[in-house]
Amino acid sequence: MLMNQIYIFGKRKEGVARLEFAKTITLLIIGRFIMINNSSLRKWDRLSQKQLNQQFMNEMTRGLQCSPFEAKAVLECVYKVYGPYFETSGHLKPGQILFQIISIDEGPNVRLADSKQVTVTLTLDTGQDDLNVRKKYGVIGLRQYRIQRVCTEAFQQGGLLTVEDLANRLFNFGERTISRDLQQLKAQNIVLPLRSTVKDMGRSISHRSLIVQHWLQGKEYSEIARATHHSVAAVKNYTSKFKRVVALSEQGFDVYTIGFLVKLSASLVTEYHQLYQTSNIIAHRKAELKFFFEGHSNFSKTQRGSNVHNN
């Protein structure tokens, strides 16, 4: 075995804020194969990072009279907020951007100014793939394809786009144009994970009703979850509450009592009942609902009166 050690010493360059640290590369030559031990490289990178951190903290303590504890807290905050923008390893591909949006964890009643935000990576253009879509479906088809892509990417990274984001910040189209695109996608049973649909805000279709509609058509939980960008557990929860709403409705309970018992709004209870009345329900779902109703038909008049009184 032949073992050679090659030492590469860093030099300070003009206009460069930090030193290029000495790096040791150990080459192990075995026959025709060469193995490179990168542990030393990683060590020097860690040391470099630590020195930059220390330089920042020194500036905070000396220049701004902060305590070491305060300086460290500010440094951690800087990493948390600006970390994605420090990335220089080329993780952004051509056609991608970093985009700031509202976190999926925020409720519908939180003001935008007070909402938690996340930075996500969105793909505006994929090159040849997008060109192929435009060639086959035209400009409108390409725009709708891109809308689906960025909404799904944002959702998968813990954020939710809005119609305003799509229209004014990403694609520079009018909100009516984007809304028309969303309606056309909806007609194809494609409902995107926008803030208005996932949080049931504004005049958008209820994502709960859409999920129930898929279920009544005979689709399985996993299939519905993929189509609506929800978890399987969420799909099961929505369909379970739908069945309870319909069962109580069949027993003669009023909308507000049902809402109290199932913990849903009166408007959603009404929406579920109308969906049950107007949907073309597949045979095996009808049988499943009938079995569910029979199991809940022993809800007594006394219990009903007691619950109404408590409400």
What mean pLDDT is reported for the chain? 75
**111 and 147 housed in the same domain:** yes
Between 17-31, 127-141, 279-293, the lowest mean confidence (pLDDT) is in: 17-31
pLDDT of residue 40: 56
**42 and 102 housed in the same domain:** no
- 134 pLDDT higher than 60: yes
pLDDT of residue 71: 83
Q: Which domain holds residue 249?
A: 206-311
- 92 pLDDT higher than 70: yes
Arithmetic mean of pLDDT, 63-82: 82
At 128, the amino acid letter reads Q
Arithmetic mean of pLDDT, 155-160: 83
pLDDT tens string 244-297:
999 998 888 888 888 888 888 787 888 888 888 888 898 988 888 888 888 766
Arithmetic mean of pLDDT, 179-190: 86
Beta strands per DSSP E along the chain: 2-8, 23-30, 33-37, 96-103, 117-123, 159-160
**Is residue 145 one of the residues assigned to a domain?**
yes
User: Confidence class of residue 42 from pLDDT cuts 50, 70 and 90?
Assistant: low
Number of domains comprising the chain: 3
**268 and 309 housed in the same domain:** yes
**129 and 218 housed in the same domain:** no
* Most confidently predicted of 111-125, 164-178, 196-210: 164-178
**146 and 104 housed in the same domain:** yes
Closest CA to 201 of 308, 99, 102: 102
**Is residue 200 one of the residues assigned to a domain?**
no
Percentages of the chain per state (helix, strand, coil), in multiples of 5: 60, 10, 30
Q: What is the CB neighbour count within 10 angstroms for residue 48?
A: 15
pLDDT of residue 14: 44
- 61 pLDDT higher than 60: yes
User: Confidence class of residue 229 from pLDDT cuts 50, 70 and 90?
Assistant: low
**311 and 227 housed in the same domain:** yes
**Is residue 132 one of the residues assigned to a domain?**
yes
**215 and 309 housed in the same domain:** yes
**Is residue 216 one of the residues assigned to a domain?**
yes
Share of the chain above pLDDT 90, in %: 11
CB 84 within 8 A of CB 78: no
**Is residue 69 one of the residues assigned to a domain?**
no
**231 and 304 housed in the same domain:** yes
